Structure 1
Amino acid sequence: MTSETELHGPEIDRGADADFDEDDRLHPDFVRAVLDAVEAGDVEEARARVEPLHPADIADLIELTPAEDRAALASAIADRIDGDVLAEMNDWVRDALVDALEPRQIADIAAELDTDDAVAIIEDLDADDQREVLRALDPDDRAAIEEALSYPEESAGRLMQRELIAVPEHWTVGDVLDYLRADDQLTTDFWEVFVVDPSHRPVGTCELSWILRTPRVVAVTDVMKREQTLIPVDMDQEEVALRFQKYALISAAVVDGGGRLVGMITVDDIVHIISQEAGEDALLLSGAGDGDINEPVRDSYKARVRWLIANLGTALVASTIITQFEGTIAKMVVLAALMPIVAGVGGNAGTQTLAVTVRALATNQLTRSNTLWAVRRELAIALMNGATIAVVIGIAVSLFFANPKLGVVIGTAMLCNILIAGLAGVLVPLTLERLKADPAIASSVFVTMTTDSMGFLVFLGLATASGLVG
């Protein structure tokens, strides 16, 4: 009889259930037990606890370990830290761990990995260490990694793996099956077979399910899918991710400038890219650098302080505007208390529009063809939001200060500033994108400056012009 294991395949032993919490994360008590064993010099106990863990969980264990204890833990469980573990590890933690290894050790790990994972480990090494690691690799592996490193960072060339299955277009399904069974050096991780012409240009793809269900005598050109999404080798990884999302791809061929097949990208890499790019945009909007808790303190400081200095400069612009109305504020001190409300609500409105616009640009929802429509849409939303907030704040201020005129002034100022915020929130990132700059990098600084400055100017200007201050 067929066993349960034969039907469903081997089950991955991730360790005892008690080692994980309700969210399927390593339990703090388990992490502490492993570290206590390492600290006590009981290496066998530490290894025994780590042995059943999946590579991704071992990577989590190292990341959850305090930085000062990671070297000791890595030394104790060195036999379990392989390429699969490093491929799952946080970039900052992995780089620190790799720095402690010898070039020969790094080369041995890189040789176990697909090209894309090996490149991710080697690309961040110092130039001297990189050369030593490459020298220690087998010639074929070295050539593949050197070629990948020649492509721009965050491009399809860096992301792709060269381990794929490509067959000539004159073969039959039987030829493909015999080829797959006869060559034990072929990659085992693939979902489709690429069909190429004599110049090694992809002409179609065959899913494995088609090959397995088709008679051997049928030509692959009769069962292959000719429509395919080809990825240029120099395409930015964010654009690659968008193509995978748009066309629901599992894998895709990567081609060079001449249209020849040079690699493939699989969906598991794209999941990581989508998460990474989404996080980067959010962090760029806040000026928080990489935003990784494992990033060195000095690097985080340098990334954040420059944006704080930029914000200080924009705040000085707003302060300069306020000084122009010193006389008005002196005559009616309550204006000073209400000014932050106008600027603050306007800033929040601008941030909302900015976030929507940056996301739309990143996902190609917003292009040159629908820019005018998007601007009109955001202005309509800003008008409705502004009118609502203006009525609420106007009535509240009128009643609280028993001054209807003051209520009208702050309501009008609020409406104007939210309209300005909506316009700035969409136009600033659009302008940066047209200038070939990342719209997430500096948009928040300019939008905040606009809403603060214009909020103060409109509110104090209306208060002065309306005769509110006698």
Structure 2
Amino acid sequence: MAEALVEGQDTETTGAMAADERHADIYGEDGAVRSAFLAQIGAAVADRDTLTLKREVGDLHQSELGDLIEALHPEQRRALVELLGSDFDFSALTEVDEAIRLDIVDNLPNEQIAQAVQELDSDDAVYILEDLDREDQDEILSQLPFTERIRLRRALDYPEETAGRRMQTEFVAVPPFWTVGQTIDYMREDNNLPDRFSQIFVIDPSFKLVGAVDLDQILRAKRAVKVEDIMRETRHAIPATMDQEEAAREFEQYNLLSAAVVDENERLVGVLTIDDVVDVIQQEAEEDIMRMGGVGDEELSDTVLATSRSRVPWLLVNLLTAFLAAAVIGLFDRTIEHIVALAVLMPIVAGMGGNAGSQTMTVTVRALATRDLDIYNAARIVRRELGVGFINGIVFAVLIGTVAGIWFHNANLGGIIAAAMIINMFAAALAGILIPLVLDRLKIDPAVASAVFVTTVTDVVGFFAFLGLATWWFSIR
């Protein structure tokens, strides 16, 4: 027995070492696919060397194959999929950008897609099919077995970015009167079990969810024990129409590994697993970051024209706000003519206010997304951020005022920029928290619209405070 254990450990160690070596062959120290590996695959594609491709690509994990596909030239991607044929792992398409996935799928016959979909988990199949138009979806689904066709169509009919779209329709469900022994025998004999699962769901005759049993409980219980005696009530069933971000928050809050997905009649329709939720969290985080930068759903694989077109709207908005800031400066043109040093120092006031506002805004948007900030604690958080803005304003006012006074040999100018700095840092903190709160209250995504408004406030207040104080102090008419 001991010898068998040692032999098994040696086999696992050897396998792990081989996997590490294989990974090192594919990826460089920077985490990118090695150019030598790309060149090797590219040459095999050019020579239509199917044997080499199957040898080099056949054992890749779906994420590794996805990285390879993204690194290849578009024509090489299509040729690679064509040459591998049925040996191509279609689950890798769930790891690539949407534009790349569409480019590959659009160049494949629906018959090949239908054949591949049958080999995939339902959540991966939906991930690929949802990018296609309804006509292509129906043609592909028509070639699938009836049960699988109904499951996938039901998932595709749920709105985008909902739990119903991300769920897996393969699950294990048993009636409450079954014994543990019957449940184990059923799982041994069923050829359509999910690849991985941690829960067995308990349902009534109408398929309504009654409860759930963890797999480890089944393994520990005696065969004669009834499932209803060891099951627990399901408290965290997720409606199929729930937004995927809300579902991910449920997993985070209750440390779930999987959760039942139910329809409007509380009937079990699928299961959401932690690997799907991790993908959702990553997707939502990427979307928030991109939106805060005003670039929407842009991807690296998009064309130059598509990328340019997606960025233009927010650049136009920024242009309008820039004209507003310029108009404020125009009110004090005579002041700037008299004291040219003001033009040198203006960007400091606006820039520091903008950075301070962005810091507060980022914290606020994140707190709203995680539900750490709401109407009940908003007043306390506002007071906190105003205090931070005031203290930081004083610190940098002293620093910048001293530098400006020494630089231009003018203590009055140093005092003016110091006062303007305090005002603008305070305004930046106020805008950085109130603007996202107001937008969230108006059901507008604060991650999308906050930045442009916060920057406008800090620019306008900063320029007005600095130039206005200078005009008043030096009595310029």
User: Please, what TM-score do these two structures have when normalized by structure 1?
Assistant: 0.94
Match of 1:4 among 3, 8, 26: 8
Q: What is residue 311 of structure 2 aligned with on the other side? A: 304
Of 429, 432, 439, which aligns to 1:425? 432
Post-superposition offset of 1:69: 2.8
Partner of 1:87: 94
Matched, 1:456 2:463: yes
- Listed as ranges, the matches of 1:13-162 within 5 Å are 14=19, 16=22, 17-22=24-29, 26-162=33-169
Which runs of 5 or more residues in structure 1 are unaligned?
none
Deviations 1:186-215 (A, max 9, x none): 323211111123442323221111111111
CA distance in 2, matches of 1:171, 1:75: 48
Of residues 216, 219, 222, the one that matches 2:226 is 219
Measure the CA separation in 2 of the matches of 1:279 and 1:397. 41
* SS of structure 1 residue aligned to 2:422: helix
- The answer to whether the Cα contact below 8 Å between 1:103 and 1:136 also exists between their aligned partners in 2 is no
Aligned ranges 1:48-447 → 2 under 5 Å: 48-447=55-454
What secondary structure, in the 3-state scheme, does the structure 1 residue paired with 2:150 have? helix
The residue matched to 1:136 in structure 2 has which SS? coil
Question: What residue identity is the alignment partner of 1:46?
Answer: L
1:316 offset after TM fit, Å?
0.4
Structure 2 counterpart SS, 1:253: strand
The question of whether the paired residues in 2 share the 8 Å contact of 1:332 and 1:469 is answered with no
Which amino acid in the other structure matches residue 450 of structure 1? V
Per-residue Cα deviation, 1:310-361 (whole angstroms, up to 9, x for no partner):
1001000001111111111111111111111111111111111111111111
- Distance across 2 between alignment mates of 1:67 and 1:372: 53
Q: Secondary structure at the match of 1:264?
A: strand
1:381 and 1:80 map into 2 onto residues whose CA distance is: 59
The residue type paired with residue 170 of structure 1 is F
**Is the CA contact 1:405–1:468 (under 8 Å) kept in the aligned structure 2?**
no
Query: What is the alpha-carbon root mean square deviation over aligned residues?
Result: 2.1
Asked if structure 2 preserves the Cα contact closer than 8 Å seen for 1:424 and 1:447, the reply is: yes
Distance 1:159-1:173 versus aligned 2 partners, 3 A rule: same
CA distances 1:268-311 after superposition (whole Å, capped 9, x unpaired): 00111111111111110001222421223332212111111110
Instruction: Give a deviation string over 1:75-120, Cα, whole Å, max 9, x none.
Output: 2333432332223333221111001111111111222222221111
For 2:469 and 2:366, locate their aligned partners in 1 and report how far apart those are by CA, in whole Å: 35
Q: Is the 8 A contact 1:421 1:451 kept in 2?
A: yes
Write the deviation string for residues 118-153 of structure 1: whole angstroms up to 9, x where unpaired.
Answer: 111111112332232222222222211221122111
Task: Report the residue type matching 1:50 in the other structure.
Answer: V
Query: Percent sequence identity over matched residues?
Result: 45
Q: Are 1:174 and 1:216, in contact at CA under 8 Å, matched by a contact in 2?
A: yes
In structure 2, do the counterparts of structure 1 residues 469 and 392 end up closer, same or farther at CA, with 3 Å as the change threshold? farther
Worse-superposed segment, 40-49 or 190-199: 40-49
Secondary structure of the structure 1 residue equivalent to 2:392: helix
Count the aligned residue pairs: 470
In the aligned structure 1, how far is the partner of 2:46 from the partner of 2:234? 58
